[in-house]
Amino acid sequence: MDEIRMICPAKINLSLDVTGKREDGYHFVKMIMQSISLEDVVTVRRIKDGIKIYCDSSEVPCNETNSAYKAAKLIFERYNINGGVEILIDKKIPVAAGLAGGSTDAAGVIKAINILYEMNLSLQDMMDLGVKIGADVPYCILGGTALSEGIGEILTPIKPVENLWCVLAKPHFAVSTREVYSKLKIDEIPRHPDINKLITYIEKKDYKNLAENMVNVLETVTMKDYPVIFEIKNIMMEFNALGSLMSGSGPTVFGLFENKSSGERCYNRLRDYLKEVFLVRTCN
């Protein structure tokens, strides 16, 4: 096999808690991650040597700063692979949006190289590589519904959240994850999510209680700088979302809906003044 096409889904955080900070600056997190049907398509081809990267979005750097490039470089160096890859990214996930767009592309590249070069790496081997690229990469390799702990590298699969409709709305600006975490004052967080209770709701398929009790502690930082996030959440609730939350460090906001028609009404309303709005489903 000389070429493989990987479907690389975005993620949302059904809740996100920060419990502490390491000396190296990384934060300890406890969060529920969920794959959604907003996807990049990453095509990886074997070539004689080197790493070449192309993307159809001008917002994505096609050089060594790209997470997909870093993933390829790491795996080639770690395993002394004799060869190279050409990476083509068909970008659908918004950039710097709190949806793990770069991380999911990196995950796709790691999985693709494992297949193309017949490396027989285990899921855990690939996840161990991924965390060296970014905290969300191990989850993106695993996918589905999962509890994420540590700095993102300790993952426990949870019963899937199946076919729940989700409206995503990304304001026109980007947010720096590093900056948001640096501004977070852990001892001043007003409300933490009850992650264990939320997992129980997921296991019982009680999505109403799940949605009503979602908490993202990073909202306290990002919403202060960008009040439009609060406005979007309010609109989603006005259109009968089960619950609404900012994903990751933002600025994307999502709302969960019981059925497609409810989601479509909210989607159409938000399309009036935001360019990047999506109606998707949870996937596993």
Taking alpha carbons only, the member of 105, 144, 127, 149 closest to residue 16 is 149
Is the domain 3-157 a CATH 2.40.400.10 member? Answer: no
Is the domain 165-281 a CATH 3.40.50.720 member? Answer: no
Taking alpha carbons only, the member of 18, 15, 68 closest to residue 40 is 68
Q: How far is CA 87 from the centre of its chain?
A: 20
- Does residue 97 have a known ligand-binding role? yes
Q: Where are the domains of the chain?
A: 3-157, 165-281
* CB crowding 5-40: b at 16 or more within 10 Å, else e: ebebbbbbbbbbbbeeeeeeeebbbbbbbbbbebbb
Q: Whole-structure pTM over 0.85, yes or no?
A: yes
Identify any residues that bridge with 35 across adjacent strands, giving them in sequence order. 11
- Does residue 98 have a known ligand-binding role? yes
Q: Write out the catalytic residue numbers.
A: 11, 136
- Does residue 102 have a known ligand-binding role? yes
pLDDT per residue, tens digit, the chain (284 aa), is: 899 999 999 999 999 999 998 878 788 999 999 999 999 999 999 999 999 999 999 999 999 999 999 999 999 999 999 999 999 999 999 998 999 999 999 999 999 999 999 999 999 999 999 999 998 999 999 999 999 999 888 999 999 998 899 999 999 998 888 899 999 999 899 999 999 999 999 999 999 999 999 999 999 999 999 999 999 999 999 999 999 999 999 999 999 999 999 999 999 999 988 999 999 999 98
- Does residue 95 have a known ligand-binding role? yes
- Does residue 108 have a known ligand-binding role? no
Q: Break the chain down into helix, strand, coil percent, rounded to 5.
A: 35, 30, 35
Identical fold between 3-157 and 165-281: no
Q: How far is CA 11 from the centre of its chain?
A: 3
Given a contact cutoff of 8 angstroms between Cβ atoms, the answer to whether 111 and 126 are in contact is yes
H or E stretch covering 209 = helix 207-212
